[in-house]
Structure 1
């Protein structure tokens, strides 16, 4: 197994967890919150997908799927189109009210773009610096692992919320 295969497998695990958390749930289920300040499945999936789209597109030097395929207009959210969910408060979380087809459509489009990028990488590419705003500067390999880690945490949270809702 090489680096491209490993990254492909990791991002595919994110996709599988996202689908398990979302499929078969109604719009109301996707936006139910365990308490008034908790994140919903819908917000968690939107957020993890936005972060993946933002970070991978930046590293690849391409336009985000969010803009290139006009997902921003499809979601029609009441905050800046560039938002990824960082710093969102309770009201922002409540305003992400997409259905499963929209959430999974966007996630799958980002997943496919991500796989197209990582499948073309060799081990040497992972050392390329993609963000000099940090000390030390962030390499492509570190950025991709960061995205995978963040995505899996949020996908796991979405799966937890689903489990809690199904036990109600």
Structure 2
């Protein structure tokens, strides 16, 4: 298995899990908080997709799907187009509302762009430094694993929150 195949499998699992979590939920279900300060399912899936879009586009040297394919307009959120949800206040979390079809369409478009990038990633590419703002500097391999880790944590949180909807 090549590094690209391994990473593709990891991102495939994120996509499949996130799509399953939002499937069949209403916009109100997607916006329901499991606790007053907890993040709702819709925000979690939007955020994990925004982070993947932002970080992979950065290392790939491409435009984000969010802006390049018009998702910023389709969502129509009262947020800066560069916003990925990091550090959101309760009011900003509340402002992220979308239906399952739109969340899944954005997820699928980001996934497709991620896979297109991964097809060209070889073993030697993983050692390329992509961010010198850290000590030690961040390599492509570390950045991609970080995105997968962040995405899997958030999709797990969303799946847990979905389970609470039936209670």
* TM score, norm. by length of structure 1: 0.98
Deviation string, structure 1 residues 87-143 (Cα, Å, up to 9, x no partner): 101111111110001100001000000011112111001011110111111000000
CA drift of 1:83 comes to 0.3
Match of 1:72 in 2: 72
Secondary structure of the residue aligned to 1:79 is coil
Match of 1:95 in 2: 95
1:50 aligns with 2:37: no
Distance across 1 between alignment mates of 2:119 and 2:152: 20
Match of 1:26 in 2: 26
Match of 1:139 in 2: 139
CA drift of 1:79 comes to 1.7
Secondary structure of the residue aligned to 2:29 is helix
Equivalent residues in 2 for 1:123-162 (5 A)?
Answer: 123-162=123-162
Aligned length: 167
CA drift of 1:35 comes to 1.8
CA drift of 1:34 comes to 1.1
Secondary structure of the residue aligned to 2:104 is helix
CA drift of 1:20 comes to 1.4
